[in-house]
């Protein structure tokens, strides 16, 4: 008996042979647009508050940080713009949209980790929040909670699952 004879007939269908699901594609595309739009609005508000273009509470300081912080923030805005474009393209059933979502979400995850590492290396007040094992665990869990949407988008746009979109 050959190996092909031992396979169950339905076991031959690979993941890439399954049909695309337009509802799933619309749901992911819409969620990506909402998430990306919210992130860009928050970034714009942060810049406007730091530049005193809009009113800020009297005892709150908003800063953009040094040159490298601004570079990371600009790169994060670019990654988020890729997410927005990818979400819009997914709603129009474009395969390129999946690539944009993958690149934007992956880049956003990496940039979030880079930003956290920069904040730890530059700010003693932020570094003090990581001072004990329990506090460090809390901070890591908080970071994972913030990264969860972009991690999920990255997984949904990864090659095995993207075939269903």
Residue 8 included in any domain: no
pLDDT of residue 24: 79
Region 39-63: mean pLDDT is 88
pLDDT of residue 33: 93
82 pLDDT band, cuts 50/70/90, is very high
48 pLDDT band, cuts 50/70/90, is very high
Residue 120 included in any domain: yes
- Count of all residues that appear for the chain in the document: 165
**Angle, alpha carbons 19-20-23 (nearest 5°):** 130
The structural domain count of the chain equals: 1
Distances (CA, A) of 50 to 15, 53, 54, 67, 113: 49, 8, 9, 14, 23
Q: Does residue 147 surpass a pLDDT of 90?
A: no
pLDDT of residue 16: 47
> Which range marks the domain in which residue 48 is found?
21-162
Residue 13 included in any domain: no
């Amino acid at each position: 008996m050959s190996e092909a004879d031992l396979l169950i007939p339905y076991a031959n269908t690979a993941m890439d042979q399954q049909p695309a699901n337009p509802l799933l594609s619309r749901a992911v595309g819409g969620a990506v647009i909402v998430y990306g739009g919210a992130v860009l609005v928050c970034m714009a508000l942060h810049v406007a508050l730091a530049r005193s273009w809009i009113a800020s509470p009297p005892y709150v300081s908003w800063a953009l940080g040094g040159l490298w912080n601004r570079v990371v923030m600009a790169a994060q805005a670019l990654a988020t713009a890729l997410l927005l474009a990818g979400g819009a393209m997914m709603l129009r059933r474009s395969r390129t949209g999946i690539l944009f979502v993958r690149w934007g979400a992956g880049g956003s995850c990496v940039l979030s980790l880079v930003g956290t590492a920069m904040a730890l290396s530059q700010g003693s007040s932020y570094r003090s929040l990581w001072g004990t094992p329990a506090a460090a665990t809390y901070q890591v869990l908080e970071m994972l909670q913030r990264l969860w949407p972009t991690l999920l988008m990255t997984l949904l746009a990864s090659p095995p699952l993207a075939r269903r979109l």
